[in-house]
Structure formats: structure tokens, C-alpha cells
A and B are shown apart, each in its own frame.
Chain A
Amino acid sequence: MAITEIIFWFLSALAVISAIMVVVSKSPVHSVLWLVTVFFAISGHYILLNAQFIAIVNIIVYAGAIMVLFLFVLMLMNLNKETEPQKNLWMKLTGVISGGCLLIILISLIRQATEIKGKIAITKTGDIGLIKVLGKELFSNYVVPFEISSVLFLSAMIGAVVIGKKD
């Protein structure tokens, strides 16, 4: 077993176990922390696929910004045993059935997808995920949307100031 393969299996197991822990753990703060672990494991996978940029963005944006936001909301809501909404049996049953339906569809899809059967991800090669290639693409083919998104950010910034400033 090569070293990349060992890392791959380790990261996969970590991602799956953490994802289960997100759902299973009682305290919402623990759930969020497990979710951070999931994101780190997935970022590890991205690095294995030679996509450094997406790995870094995944950590900065998801594990960093969005998770902090999640924690803020949780702490502001001050969740505890008393305020937890009571879920009745029917609600749980509907949840299980609808979730189970999705699971069946996903499993049957993967079973039918013959084109990916027996193939493994190509690691350590390919340059699509490199920052250099991405930058070149962004400033040639996608330069118009790139520039126009600045209008979007500018209007959002003006909006934030208009809304947030004291009269």
C-alpha cells in the first residue's frame, strides 16, 4: 500500500465518522465542531487530487467563516434541554422515510453507474486545480464576470453601510 492510499483511506474514514458524529452528537456545539473536522478531511482529499486552491478555499470559507457564523448563531440562540422543541413520533417517522428514500435513490444511482466502477481517483497529477491555471482562466475566459462581480460587491457594501449606519 502506497502512502497516498493510506492517507486516502484514513481521510475517508475520518470524513465518514465525523459526518456521522455531526448527526449523532447531542450538543449542537459538538455537531458544529465535528463538521469542521469533516471539512478538513475533505480538504485533505482535494490536496490528494492536486487541487490546492479549492482545498485552501474550503478551509478558509467553510471551516473558517461559515462555521464561526454557525457557532455565533448557536450561542446567540442559547440552546438547552428546556428550549428544545418537542418532536412527536410522526415527525420522526416522516423524517426517516424521506431520508430513506433519498438514500435508496443515491445507492441505486451509484450501483448503476458502470462508468465509474472499478476506477480510482487519479492523484498527484493534473493541473486544473493549481492556482496558476485558475488565475489564467479567470483573467482570460472569465474576465467579464470577474469584473462585473465587483459591481455586485460594491452595491452590497453601499447597502451594508446604508443599513448599518446610525441615522
Chain B
Amino acid sequence: MNAIIFSALIGVVMMLGGIVIKNNASIQSLAIILLFILLGSHLAEYYNLFNIHIETHGMLAKNRFGMFFNTIIISLTLLYVLLSGDEIAKAGTYGAEYFALLFFSLCGATILSSYNNLLMLFLGVEIMTIPLFVLTASEKKNLKSNEAGLKYFLMGSFSTGILLMGIALYYGGTGLFAIEAGIGKNANEIQQTLRILLPLGLLFIFISLAFKVSAAPFHFWTPDVYDGAPSVFTSFMATIVKTAGFIAFIRLFELRSVDMSYSWKILLPLIIILTLLAGNITAVFQQSVKRMLAYSSIAHAGFMLFALYNPNDFGKQGILLYTVAYSLATIGTFAVLTKMKDYTYEGYNGLAKSKPVLAATNTIFLLSLAGIPLTAGFFAKYYMLASALKESTRNLWLVIVAVLFAAVSVYYYFRVIQAMYFKEGNAETTEIKPFFKVLLIIIAALIIVIGLMPSLLLDLFYA
């Protein structure tokens, strides 16, 4: 509860702070202080020191998995604001409001990790995405940003409509909004013929959530929106928001796995393969690094869907590891990207000569995204694929397909590394502060440490 209440409160404080504070640097420091308060209050609840208790009537369920996930995303947001806070404030004329919207979006994400009722799922998804529509369109003078914002808004509201339709059908089938397994207390009143509405409702909810996490064939909005939005906000969308979508997915489908009969076991691998295909193959043909990263985030959604397909312990640990590994690397690469003047591959030519620290850390991020051993990305992928094999050895073909696509992904990540190290040119960047470099090195170090000892992170989960 602390995370939800405090993240909403710091959003309000940030918004009101914007009236008094006009200076970008002080807005950024205020945001960092507020995020530390949020993290502190959440950790206080995590270790049972201080907790605002509210009777939720079964709307929210306090669970260890969700709490741990909240810790991860709040820390990641803090890291993100430390790294690119100045870019957020510079994105438009309303620096403080952008931070407030980010905090509200974070509030939605924390609801999604602990919801126990479809009403809360709906509210969480909406609170998470509505600020993003605005952030996407925040660069008002840029036509591409405006287009992306409008596109995201229209597609987002359409998928929300499908979500509501699904919730209504779910209610028709079970007689309740709660997500616990089974049928509601007025089950006798629900005729057997109406039970068919339950899988139908779950299918609609599935489609809508697949849209939110940009799984194929519902991914068409992703490249345009990620490309059009200011790079700092793309970074937030591709990491914290996307992984929160997966947590919402897992919470619902773990409890409802009973209803997922044989046909689900056909549908999900199909979607996984489609997502991997659409993401990886299209990413190969991109000329802009930003657009390539957008497609690669679709490809990563394919890997994260493995946790949904195999809701066992391995899959749950895997999604936590994947959240950390993927988000750290993506936040890092996007932070480097925002400093570049030219977003094409040519723009990275010769970066290693002019900015060796940026090039070296960016290489580690890209290696982690590709899933090369000794980086966090390797173990993240390993856990995902292992979860499939643990469930049943008949999933071997799916694992082989996923590994093949991971090999394809190496190609387009290495193109950036090749441009940075082996091509002649002078990559132009904006001004880079020493603090920024130190943070990049810290993130790179974290990726390598988790890559060497993933148990460090997972032990925290069980501690």
C-alpha cells in the first residue's frame, strides 16, 4: 500500500512544486529526493517497519512477488531519473509536470503488481498509460512526436475498450470481479450455458494486455510511438511500463491457469513465435538505432512471454531477472542515445575514439540485450528458456526457435558496436557530465555482477 499511496502523493507534491520552482536543476533534485522518499517508504513496508494499513475489501493483495517487483521498478525509476533527469526537464516547457506524470505512471505500475480485482487492473492500466500519451506528445514543435501521441492515444483507448469488454464477459461467466480461481458465490444463478463467457472474457483481456506489452500481432503501434516520442520517455515506456504490463499479465493468468485449457497452450507459443519473428526480423532492416531498439523491445516481449507460458517458479524468478537485466541495459542504451546528435548507425561511427567511456558501457548494454554470457541478459534468457523445458520437454522446439532468434538479434546489436569501434567518423554528442559517465559505469558494473552471480538478486527475493 505504501508504494501506491506515496507514488501518488509525490506526484502531487511534484506538480505543486512546479508552481514555485522554475529552475530545471532544482526540479530534478526535488524529483530525486521524492523518489528516495518513495523507495524508503516502500522498503519500510517490505521489512515490516512502517505500513499504512487500509482495508481494501479484497481489492488489493499484498504479495511478496509484487512487493519485490515494486522495489525493482522504483529503484529503476530512481536510476533512470538520476541518469536522464536533465533530459526530462528539457523535453518541453513543463519540466515539473513531466516528472509528476512519470510518478503517476509509476503509481499505476505499483497497482498492477498487487491488484486482486479486475476493477483495479483496469484502473492500474489506465493510470499507467494515460500519462504516457501526454509524455509521448510532449515535444509539441515536433510533428513526429504529435503523431506518435495521437496514435498511441487512439490505439490505447481502443485496447482499453477491449479490456473492459473482456472484464464484462468475465463477470458474466463467473459472477465476480475478483481474480481468485473458481466461481463466485452466486454461482448457482449462473447457468452452465453462460460459463462459456469466462474463456471469452479471458481472451479479450489477453488481447488487450498483449497490446499493452506490444506482443505480435498487436505490436504495430510500438515502432511509431517509440520512435516518435522523445527518447527519454521511450526509455521509460520500454522498461518500467512494459515490465509492469507483464506482471499484470502473470498475476491474472497464474491464478486462472485452470481455465486455460488445451487451446491456450497452442495460442501462446504461436504468439511467442510471431512476436520474436516480428521483432527480430524487422529490427535487422532498420537504419535508425532508435527504431531498431523499438523493434528489439518487441523481440524482448517475446522472451518475457515465456514466463506466461510456463507459470512455474523458474518462470517467476526469470521474469524478475529479465525485468532487471532488460531494463538496466535499455535505460543505459537510451541514455547514450539521447546524448547522440544523429540517431542513425552512421551517427555512432567512431564513438570509441571520441568518447571511450560511452562506447565501452554502451557495448556492455548491447551485449546484455543480445544475451551474451557474463552479462545479466544471458541469465535472464536462460531462466526463461529453462522454465519452458522444466514445464515439459515437449517445449524443446520452442526453445530452439527462441535461441535462433536470439542469434539473429546479435546481428543488429553488433552493428552498433561495429559502428562505434571499427568505423571511421566523428560521432557528435551533446555535452556529457562526469556524473553521467560514473552512473553509466555503475549500471554496466551491475549488469556484469548480475551476469556473474544472478543468485545475488534472486537471494534477495527469498531473503
B126 closest partner in A (C-beta):
A152
Interface of B is mostly: helix
Cβ < 8 Å to B, chain A residues 140-163: 140-145, 148-149, 151-152, 154-156, 158-159, 161-163
B193 close to A112 (CB less than 8 A): yes
Query: Chain B, interface size: which category?
Result: 35 or more
Does B29 sit within 8 A of A, measured CB to CB? no
A155 to B129, CA, bound (A): 10
A163 close to B134 (CB less than 8 A): yes
- Tell me the smallest distance from the CB of B433 to a CB of chain A, in Å: 27
Q: Please pick, from B60, B94, B101, the residue contacting A155 in the complex, using a CB distance under 8 A.
A: B101
Does B127 sit within 8 A of A, measured CB to CB? yes
B94 close to A159 (CB less than 8 A): no
Q: With A144-B57, A167-B140 as known contacts, state yes or no: A156 contacts B123, CB within 8 Å.
A: no
Contacts of A156 in B (CB 8 A): 130
Number of interchain pairs (Cβ within 8 Å): 76
Q: With A140-B57, A144-B54, A144-B60 as known contacts, state yes or no: A152 contacts B193, CB within 8 Å.
A: no
A155 close to B131 (CB less than 8 A): yes
A159 to B102, CA, bound (A): 11
Q: Please pick, from B57, B60, B92, B127, the residue contacting A151 in the complex, using a CB distance under 8 A.
A: B127
A155 closest partner in B (C-beta):
B104
Q: Please pick, from A113, A143, A145, A161, the residue contacting B193 in the complex, using a CB distance under 8 A.
A: A113
Contacts of A84 in B (CB 8 A): none
Does A82 sit within 8 A of B, measured CB to CB? no
Q: How many residues of A contact B (CB 8 A)?
A: 23
Contacts of B100 in A (CB 8 A): 155, 158
- Tell me the smallest distance from the CB of B7 to a CB of chain A, in Å: 9
Which of B8-16, B79-87, B254-262 is the interface stretch?
A: B8-16
Contacts of B193 in A (CB 8 A): 112-113
Interface of A is mostly: helix
A60-92 CB contact bits vs B (8 Å, 1 = yes)?
000000000000000000000000000000000
Contacts of A151 in B (CB 8 A): 8, 11, 104, 107, 127
A165 to B138, CA, bound (A): 11
- Tell me the smallest distance from the CB of B8 to a CB of chain A, in Å: 5
B9 closest partner in A (C-beta):
A151
A40 to B131, CA, bound (A): 35
A140 to B56, CA, bound (A): 9
Does B111 sit within 8 A of A, measured CB to CB? yes
Q: Please pick, from A141, A148, A152, the residue contacting B57 in the complex, using a CB distance under 8 A.
A: A141
Q: With A154-B104, A155-B11 as known contacts, state yes or no: A162 contacts B59, CB within 8 Å.
A: no
Q: Please pick, from B127, B134, B140, the residue contacting A152 in the complex, using a CB distance under 8 A.
A: B127
Does B69 sit within 8 A of A, measured CB to CB? no
Does B282 sit within 8 A of A, measured CB to CB? no
A143 to B60, CA, bound (A): 12
- Tell me the smallest distance from the CB of A4 to a CB of chain B, in Å: 25
- Tell me the smallest distance from the CB of A50 to a CB of chain B, in Å: 19
Contacts of A145 in B (CB 8 A): 59, 117, 119-120, 123
Contacts of A112 in B (CB 8 A): 193
CB-based closest 9 A-B pairs = A159-B134, A155-B104, A144-B59, A151-B8, A144-B56, A141-B57, A145-B119, A155-B131, A152-B127
Which of B's residues lie within 8 Å of A, judged by CB? 4, 8, 11-12, 15, 54, 56-57, 59-60, 92-94, 97-98, 100-101, 104-105, 107, 111, 117, 119-120, 123, 126-127, 130-131, 133-134, 137-138, 140, 149, 191, 193
24 intermolecular pairs with C-beta atoms under 8 Å apart: A142-B57, A142-B119, A143-B57, A144-B54, A144-B57, A144-B120, A145-B117, A145-B120, A148-B4, A148-B123, A148-B127, A151-B107, A155-B101, A155-B105, A155-B127, A155-B130, A158-B100, A158-B104, A158-B131, A162-B92, A162-B98, A162-B138, A163-B149, A167-B140
